[in-house]
Amino acid sequence: MTNEATERTDAEWREALTPEQYRVMRLNGTERAFTGEYWNAKTVGDYHCAGCGQLLFSSDGKFESGCGWPSFFEPAEDALLQEKVDTAYGMVRTEIRCAQCDSHLGHVFEDGPPPTGLRYCINSVCLKLRAEETGTSAEE
């Protein structure tokens, strides 16, 4: 993917995404904890934006946080994500958005493991896993 922003009309986004993806990615929603496809996935590979295909995270940075959403301690590259202050629901959090298509992905918190101490808490519906080809089943 390029660094040029992916621009689509609302109608194009509704056509490209499932209703749940649209609710989370375009309307800043959140999927229920422990229900998403990747919250406990152990597959080796790369996680891409479901909206535009931009690489976001690697399974090398994924860890089990116990929060019910896929959690990563670092993005594949910092420039792939945008951070915004989120003051919804009376809280102050750091929202994470795809730098390519401006889709809402989740939030980042400062309670993650070394080496970064960060926990990128990402909604599964925002991700598409491209599994590394190993010749064996990667799901356990």
pLDDT digits (tens, 9 = 90+) for 41-97: 999 999 999 999 999 999 999 999 999 999 999 999 989 999 999 988 888 999 999
Percent helix, strand, coil in the chain (nearest 5)? 20, 30, 55
Query: Topology of domain 10-131, per CATH?
Result: 2.170.150
- Global pTM reads 0.88
pLDDT higher than threshold 70 for residue 4: no
Cis status of the peptide bond prior to 75, with omega within 30 of 0:
no
Name the band, by pLDDT with cuts 50, 70 and 90, for residue 1: very low
Categorize the per-residue pLDDT at 3 as very low, low, confident or very high, splitting at 50, 70 and 90.
Answer: very low
Going by C-alpha positions, the residue among 105, 132, 116 that lies closest to residue 30 is: 105
Options 98, 101, 121, 126, the catalytic residue: 121
Rounded Cα–Cα distance for residues 21 and 17 (Å): 6
Tell whether the model's pLDDT for residue 134 goes beyond 70.
no
Is position 121 annotated as part of the catalytic site? yes
Over residues 101-111, the pLDDT tens digits come to 999 999 999 99
Domain boundaries, the chain: 10-131
The token pair that represents 103 in the structure block: 């889709």
